A and B are shown apart, each in its own frame.
Chain A
Amino acid sequence: MAQQQQTTEKAAPPRTPIESGCPDGFQYMHPLMIKNYGNWKYHDRPRPGVLHHVAYSGDEIWTVRVGTQRQLGPYEIGLLCDIIDKYGEGYVRFTIRSNMEISLSSWDKVEPMIKAFEEAGYPVGGTGNSVTMISHTQGWLHCDIPGTDASGVVKALMDDLYEEFIKEDMPNRVHITTSCCQINCGGQGDIAINVQHTKPPKINHDLVANVCERPSVVARCPVAAIRPAMVNGKPSLEVDEKKCICCGACYPPCPPMQINDPEHSKLAIWVGGKNSNARSKPMFHKLVAAGIPNNPPRWPEAGAIVKKILHVYKKDAKDWERVGDWVERIGWPRFFELTELPVTKFHIENWRGSRYTLNASTHIRF
């Protein structure tokens, strides 16, 4: 039958795509958003998980924020949309961290909707000073170069941080990210859990010549550790293992340079990333712990360190300090003291511009 279909399709010219690009958001917006576009006056948060915005016109809109598992199927979409239709007005948007935001024109609709989501097993929260949903990557589910899974790490952590999602008990908002390789697609975070490779790639020399464009692989290496070589009479590549920083950048363009390893692909934890310009300028996150086992299905060792950092931050930081702001105030020596994490030579930057990260002063806390 597939054969038959192909024959009939051959006669018709292939369909030309409509290059419409990014769709207009207005066609899916809540009517109050369209009416008051650019004319909002202020907002407050009547309870965790709910935002309340007031327009100059006097119109008010309530937003219920719901945590999801990001990967949704027809059942979940149907379940969530049924609740939105029954208790809301049919309008929803997603935040950058995969939370759903449902728009409501009346406060009376808020509590029944929250109850419906909670009864369906979906948490309401993620606003204000909470630990919101972890932004993450695809991992073993779909990526071609992952050192670990993403959805699993996130599920395990969000189970543990559930109470922090539905409450607003942190000094300021906490954005956690996970990434399955050192490219760090999960992005900057107050706390980031990223794969850190610890051994140079293992090369399958039989495959390199057929699979890899060797000059581009050589060019991809940040430390010029890769050079062309003949191995067993075949054109291949070799790695100067003393130079190699185990970043894995050669693996995407050349899969025979296998960087992932069940034992030696470890996890590392970074803290203090901040995208906002509020108070301090934006900051990148910094390495605080590495060598953590990549331990599915629940990664307890990585989770324990994240929870420890969160616990200390919650206790020691002042109101409105993000993790990065807090560490800047108390200093890194105190951070390591309070979190009881070891300080190693690996914490000291040796990449370009590294001298700017050293302490060129006598500013020392005792």
Chain B
Amino acid sequence: MAQQPKNPDKHATYMPKEKKSTKAFHKTPLLDQLESGPWPSFVTGLKRLAHDNNMMVDLLGQLEYSYTTRKGYWKGGTVSVFGYGGGIIPRFSEVASMFPESKEFHTLRVQPPAGNHYTTSMLRQLSDSWKKYGSGLIAFHGQTGNIMFIGASTERTQHFFDEVNSYGFDLGGAGPCVRTAMSCVGAARCEQSNANEQKIHRILVNNFIDDMHRPALPYKFKFKVSGCPNDCMNSIQRADFAVIGTWRDDMKVDQAEVKNFVKSKSRKYVVDNVIARCPTKALSLNDDDTLTVDNRNCVRCMHCINVMTKALKPGDDKGVTVLIGGKRTLKIGDTFGTVIVPFMKLETDEDYEKIREMAANIIDFWAENGLEHERCGEMIERIGLVNFLEGIGLEVDPNMITHPRTCSYIRTDEWDQEAEKWNQRQAAG
């Protein structure tokens, strides 16, 4: 594996011969140990940049100091560009006396194009802009989904922003605000897509751009869009507002391809890995090696479609499921996003307006009722799903729950009226 590169000038291990930075390198014996091994080394990358500018010379020094003392030395602050209140992660060094050139080392969060698509010319242009004003170091991408332009002084953040903003890029969110959204590759390249992820992503986030650039919400609010229940964007666990593509008619089965699959993989393989793995026992392999699907009991988990990519596909009556309130530990413990809309079509302008309006209602209700530093899912945990639904004007649906309540301590004064409401909604279809 540790082959000698054929062309050392065009290789992940390349080190410039010429040193343009004027400051002497710090000794980095610990970081040096991360330069060996087959995976491309970020340390080698940082060293290349340190040949170019003094900021990265001292950044490497501070990082080595962290590796030695096993502590971090950055503190936050307030930095933004003219007109905005967020979008930049300010970092001031606590050990600036030892490493003065990287004493200000801010990150600009910039929203990538939906689906993270780039041309090489756009990647080069972004890299050139950042080399001009910042350290040169870019992370593709941060955990919220931003392009992270890491390492610029306070004074230079504005110039860099002005330049990339003039060719179509905008800052993302940082702080208590609507955050940068994420969407999967989806309809652009995936047959399992049930939605126009590009459109949903941009309609949602670009309609709340004021709530992104001027942080004034209780805490962060994230939109994520996945085209199918494989949920490649981790939206149920990580998004306050998760949109996941699904379908409500029958899944498509190409029986000839089913037969081909059985022939190539064996009956045992299909029984063990497809039929037996269906969570609702909705599949049956027939004696002639065709497949019967109980579509009424299929929960659209995607497993069989993932295994038999040629034979099985989502249906034609596509739409989305919306789940609200996913987040990790802080502060009450983990919460999954839970269903508030089992299915909605997203085809016409009115459909898209409906989902935008629902997002606006949710953000407004949460902004009014959420406590400081309380995520939307935590608020729902505190006030109960029913109060949340009444607040945003949605009716209850059995798809919202795993099972009905088990605790008998509940007042049911208005049972008849509520039952009547349900009957009327059922009658209205």
Contact = CB atoms under 8 A, between A and B. Distances in A.
B165 interface: yes
A136 B191 CA distance: 29
Contacts of A353: 333
Contacts of B36: 159
Given A24-B114, A69-B40, A72-B45, A96 B234 contact: yes
A319 B229 contact: no
A183 B328 contact: yes
Given A42-B310, A81-B124, A18 B233 contact: no
B1 interface: yes
A38 B127 CA distance: 32
Contact of A15 (B82, B171, B210, B372): B82
Interface in A153-180: 155-156, 158-159, 162
B42 A144 contact: no
B12 A146 contact: no
Given A25-B115, A121-B40, A135-B143, A69 B277 contact: no
Interface string A273-287: 101111110101000
B121 interface: yes
Contacts of B277: 279, 320
Contact of A276 (B272, B302, B310, B329): B302
A296 B30 CA distance: 8
A41 B332 CA distance: 43
B119 interface: yes
Given A21-B170, A144-B76, A184-B328, A73 B162 contact: no
A142 B122 CA distance: 25
Given A22-B181, A96-B234, A155-B34, A33 B189 contact: yes
Interface in B136-188: 136-143, 145, 148, 150, 161-162, 165-166, 168-171, 180-182, 184-185, 187-188
B422 interface: no
Contact of B63 (A141, A147, A220): A141
Interface stretch (A87-95, A235-243, A308-316): A87-95
Interface stretch (B17-25, B64-72, B383-391, B408-416): B64-72
The contact size tier of chain B is 35 or more
Contact of A352 (B66, B143, B188, B332): B332
A307 interface: no
A71 B12 contact: no
B189 A187 contact: no
Q: Which of A141, A155, A318 has the most CB of B within 10 A?
A: A141
B202 interface: yes
A265 B70 contact: yes
B112 interface: yes
A71 B301 contact: no
Interface in A174-222: 182-188, 216, 219-220, 222
B99 interface: no
A22 B10 contact: no
B271 to A, nearest CB: 12
B121 A21 contact: no
A321 B21 CA distance: 51
Contacts of A280: 279
B301 A260 contact: no
Contacts of B111: 21-23
A261 B71 CA distance: 7
A144 B91 contact: yes
Nearest to B244: A277
Contact of B40 (A34, A67, A260, A279): A67
B331 interface: yes
B303 interface: yes
Given A21-B111, A137-B143, A296-B30, A74 B128 contact: yes
Given A71-B137, A90-B120, A90-B121, 16 more contacts: A20-B169, A28-B122, A29-B188, A40-B190, A68-B140, A76-B45, A78-B124, A81-B123, A120-B5, A136-B143, A138-B139, A138-B150, A220-B373, A277-B302, A296-B70, A298-B33
Interface of B: 1, 5-7, 10-14, 30-31, 33-34, 36-43, 45-46, 48-49, 59, 63, 66-67, 69-76, 81-84, 89, 91, 105, 107, 111-124, 127-128, 130-131, 136-143, 145, 148, 150, 161-162, 165-166, 168-171, 180-182, 184-185, 187-191, 193, 196, 198, 201-202, 205-206, 209-210, 212-213, 229-238, 269, 272-273, 277, 279, 299-303, 306-307, 309-310, 313, 328-334, 336, 371-373
Q: 7 closest A-B pairs (Cβ-Cβ)?
A: A159-B37, A121-B12, A21-B206, A262-B70, A140-B66, A277-B229, A158-B39
28 contacts: A15-B82, A22-B111, A24-B202, A25-B116, A29-B115, A33-B117, A34-B188, A41-B313, A67-B40, A71-B46, A72-B138, A73-B49, A77-B124, A90-B121, A94-B118, A121-B40, A139-B72, A145-B72, A146-B72, A152-B43, A155-B41, A183-B328, A183-B330, A220-B331, A262-B69, A278-B301, A278-B303, A318-B273
